[in-house]
Chains A and B, each alone.
Chain A
Amino acid sequence: MLTIDNLQAKVEDKQILRGINLQINPGEIHAIMGPNGSGKSTLANVLAGRDMYEVNGGSVEFNGQDLLDLDPEVRAREGLFLAFQYPVEIPGVNNTYFLRAAVNAVRKHHGEPELDGAQFLKFAREKAKLVELDPTLMNRSVNEGFSGGEKKRNEIFQMAVLNPKLAILDETDSGLDIDALRIVANGVNALRSPDRSFLIVTHYQRLLDYIVPDFVHVLVDGRIVKSGGKELALELEEKGYAWVEEELLAGAIA
């Protein structure tokens, strides 16, 4: 599904990703944890194609294609989805209108007929139920005036509608109350399938109680310094990142 090889990226002359290696196979759920500022969102945004970041080394293969060579919209149409850490408010753009434009852009890309307003609405309403999204939010401007939790839920709603192959969730759990967390997790679990993969950025074990990952990676200072199974998240929660860093240091000295 996704193969990241020695990926390096910088922003405004500041090197942030310093050689990321990661292999995600179809159906797998990977979690990425790491201290603030370690580069998790940078990785997510580079994968989604944000041009603010300059890739200055390495490669990324996505379903046999050179991902870095694709425009962000093409990445999305090919099945990559990023749930943003900070979803942007877009005044004046109706949520439903926007999402239909997105769905139809994806469908067109795959040679499928576009959905008309009524067809889309029916489809979108079902998905809204899945994430228990207040249907009135669909008629508002994209994220405008949404609460923090509503924004995150709207991201998961969009994911459910767009049906991606690889979904990257960047701290979708932060800002959610316990109920919302369960709903978002249920949304993700409902989409879990042998040919869909997830890359979940989080600071908290609690999300991983609901969405059980196959692998957990620790990102520190632009590198994945430790990988393991789901128990690694528990260990991190207990011992903190300092533990990983000490271990690293010990390893380097030894």
Chain B
Amino acid sequence: MGRGRAIGGGDCLKMTTMSDTNLKYREAALAASQHPQPDWLKLFRSRAWNEFEKLGFPTTQHEEWKYCNVRPISEGEFQSPLVFSQQTNGYIENLGDDDAYLLAFVNGIYDITASKISDAPVGLTIDSLASVLKNIPDLVKPHLANYANFEGEAFVALNTATFVDGAVVRVADNVVVEKPIFLVNYTTSGTAAPVRNLVIMERNSQATVIEIFLSENETSFSNIVTEIVVSESAVLNHTKVQLEGGNANHISTQVIEQSKSSVFDSQNICLGASLARTTIYARLGAEHIECTIDGLYCLNNNQLVDNHTTIDHAFPNCNSFELYKGVMDEKSTGVFNGKIFVRQDAQKTDSKQTNQNLLLSDDATINTKPQLEIYADDVRCTHGATVGRLDPNALFYLQARGIGAEEARSILVHAFANEVIQRVKPVGLRTELEKRLYQKLG
């Protein structure tokens, strides 16, 4: 900080701000390290903090952040969520399925009154991470911070250093959880909220986990890391729904570690926030794995939504499918960067990646970059990206049958987006998402 001041000029101001920001996060990291937790985690956290300090927030000079300017975060003024705000009671709107387990978090801190977990069956652990770390840390020790690598990853490092709480979902061997498990996160205005989630699917288990992100309307910053372990022959349906307020900043990192014959089937639905970046990394670490990573982003205003996905085929005989669809209206910007790695040993890989985009205005932008890196020779891999506008012939066809221009447009946009929504498993949530889509796109 001192050095910054000595230089003088505009740069000085910027550096000072930066350091002040860091100072605030340092306090948050310090506070986080004082919660009850095992020593191994404390060690991780201090290393993570050092890494964050070394890296600072990424800039657009960074290849992976080229189109994702995080200045609203790096220069934003956010408070740490040290105080639990009771005013947020009732924040959980009915997002569909009443018959579900629910873990609620406000600013990344467990809200027991809003949660519904009392009837969880034997073999299903759903709990707050803070409580697990305090009472049964060995449950998460093999997994927590084991997959989401913070080296070179500023936001993962920051999350690892500063998180206080989050969700732990663990489904024991051979247990099939029928009801969906909702993890609902709500961020209040002016807050920087780290959220740390861990989903452990043990052998031959099955479950559906939904992560929902909501926020107040004024600026906020949620920084989420979700680690997901899908053990041998386990099946996990996973949906992430980002519905944060129009001024929110949302950074999320999702890391999936899959074992033999496991199935991971997911949708990443992104409708809210001003700036939203989701990074997904799936490692297919054994044979006969199936991994589906679908996504939908619908943007308007000045929204910037950046989806970076990586599917890493390290072993033979695995399938991966990825369909990402985007609708960009007004002055919004979408980014899709999808990497598929097929490593040398990953023979007989079957991989299909598609990114389709609909631009509804002249001022909307999409940067799409599907990437396929294949080091094996006996594989079937396809990928492709399209960018288009609404088909004027289809629009006229609808109008010629009496349907108004606005409604016709809406029907076509929804038809486009619906393909991904229809893959969401819980019926109530699916209906709710269709409704939200209408609200958003008219």
Given A88-B393, A88-B394, A48:B400 Cβ within 8 A:
yes
Of chain B, the residue at the smallest CB distance from A107 is B402
Q: Does B122 contact A (CB under 8 A)?
A: no
Given A88-B394, A88-B397, A93:B412 Cβ within 8 A:
yes
Question: Do A73 and B404 touch (CB < 8 A)?
Answer: yes
Q: Does A71 contact B (CB under 8 A)?
A: yes
Question: Do A73 and B397 touch (CB < 8 A)?
Answer: no
Question: Do B400 and A72 touch (CB < 8 A)?
Answer: yes
Question: Do A50 and B396 touch (CB < 8 A)?
Answer: yes
Given A72-B396, A88-B391, A90-B394, A99:B401 Cβ within 8 A:
yes
Apart from A51-B396, A102-B401: 20 A-B pairs, beta carbons within 8 A: A52-B392, A73-B399, A73-B402, A73-B404, A73-B405, A73-B408, A75-B400, A76-B402, A77-B402, A81-B400, A84-B400, A91-B415, A92-B416, A92-B419, A98-B398, A98-B403, A99-B401, A101-B398, A101-B403, A105-B402
Query: Restricting to B408-434, which residues have a CB under 8 Å from any CB of A?
Result: 408, 411-412, 414-416, 418-419
Given A91-B415, A92-B418, A93-B415, A106:B402 Cβ within 8 A:
yes
Of chain A, the residue at the smallest CB distance from B415 is A92
Interface size on A, residues (CB 8 A): 32
Q: Does A158 contact B (CB under 8 A)?
A: yes
Q: Does B151 contact A (CB under 8 A)?
A: no
Given A88-B394, A92-B418, A105-B404, A72:B399 Cβ within 8 A:
yes
Of chain B, the residue at the smallest CB distance from A101 is B403
Interface size on B, residues (CB 8 A): 23
- Majority secondary structure of chain B interface residues (helix, strand, loop or mixed): helix
Q: Does B407 contact A (CB under 8 A)?
A: yes
Question: Do B402 and A102 touch (CB < 8 A)?
Answer: yes
Question: Do B405 and A71 touch (CB < 8 A)?
Answer: yes
Which residues on B are within 8 Å of A, measured CB to CB? 391-394, 396-405, 407-408, 411-412, 414-416, 418-419
Q: Could you say which residues of chain A place their CB within 8 Å of the CB of B407?
A: 101, 105
| Cβ-neighbour of A76 out of B393, B400, B412 (below 8 A) | B400
Q: How far is the CB of B381 from chain A (nearest CB, A)?
A: 24
Which residues on A are within 8 Å of B, measured CB to CB? 48-52, 71-73, 75-77, 81-82, 84, 87-88, 90-93, 98-99, 101-103, 105-106, 109, 141-142, 158, 162
Q: Could you say which residues of chain B place their CB within 8 Å of the CB of A50?
A: 396
26 contacts between A and B (CB under 8 A): A49-B400, A72-B399, A73-B399, A73-B400, A73-B403, A73-B405, A75-B400, A76-B400, A76-B401, A77-B402, A84-B400, A88-B391, A90-B394, A92-B415, A92-B416, A93-B412, A98-B398, A98-B401, A98-B411, A101-B398, A102-B403, A103-B402, A105-B401, A105-B407, A106-B402, A162-B402
Q: Could you say which residues of chain A place their CB within 8 Å of the CB of B392?
A: 52
Given A90-B415, A93-B411, A101-B411, A158:B399 Cβ within 8 A:
no
